[in-house]
């Protein structure tokens, strides 16, 4: 099971954190600080896998990818395949790249709703739901279309109410 998905800047600023087991906010911050310490201490050229049992508890491990100014980190337990988790990060980043045309840190900061929607299409409740970036983008397009339809219906309803109240 996936325990957490975290995106950190190279300066340690949290750009996304999603925990699939409830943790109080203070504990989440403590875990993220510990995770960032592990990331910063790792030399270049070593494996992208690291045990994080001291931070997240028994039987947990992390996999991460460093792209430009961002660390994409997945924390998971032994029920997940390590290489599948590494591939899932790749799917997540590819989907973001397709969505934002070469994703950067600012895209993540200013489009956090879309970022969460994409992540929720890939992982729900700590379980992998979809591994095809094309399918995730189709779902995102459908959600966007439905939101626009709902907004236009809401505007139409508002104008009818306004007319009736006159």
pLDDT digits (tens, 9 = 90+) for 64-81: 999 888 999 999 998 999
Domains, the chain: 2-165 (3.30.450.60)
Dist CA 112 CA 108 (whole Å): 6
Give the confidence band of 110 by pLDDT, cuts at 50, 70, 90. very high
pLDDT digits (tens, 9 = 90+) for 81-92: 999 999 999 999
pTM attached to this predicted model: 0.84
CA distances from 53 to 18, 37, 110 (A): 18, 14, 33
Residue 162 has pLDDT above 80, yes or no: no
Say how many CA atoms lie within 13 Å of 140 toward its Cβ: 22
Residue 11 has pLDDT above 60, yes or no: yes
What pLDDT score was predicted for residue 164?
57
Dist CA 68 CA 65 (whole Å): 10
3-state class (DSSP) for residue 47: coil
Phi, psi of 67 (to 5 degrees): -115, 120
Residue 140 tokens read as 């995102």
Spatial contact of 85 and 73, defined as CB atoms under 8 Å apart:
no
Residue 92 tokens read as 């997540």
């Amino acid at each position: 099971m996936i325990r957490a998905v975290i995106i950190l800047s190279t300066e340690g600023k949290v750009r996304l954190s999603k925990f699939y087991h409830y943790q109080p906010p203070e504990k989440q911050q403590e875990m993220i600080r510990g995770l960032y310490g592990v990331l910063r201490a790792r030399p270049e050229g070593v494996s992208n896998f690291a045990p994080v049992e001291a931070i997240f508890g028994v039987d947990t491990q992390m996999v991460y990818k460093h792209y430009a100014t961002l660390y994409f980190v997945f924390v998971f337990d032994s029920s997940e395949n390590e290489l599948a988790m590494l591939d899932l990060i790749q799917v997540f980043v590819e989907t973001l790249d397709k969505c934002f045309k070469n994703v950067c840190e600012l895209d993540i900061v200013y489009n956090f709703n879309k970022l969460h929607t994409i992540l929720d299409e890939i992982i729900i409740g700590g379980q992998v739901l979809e591994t095809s970036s094309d399918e995730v983008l189709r779902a995102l397009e459908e959600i966007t279309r439905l939101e626009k339809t709902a907004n236009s219906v809401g505007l139409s309803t508002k104008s009818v109410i306004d007319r009736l109240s006159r």
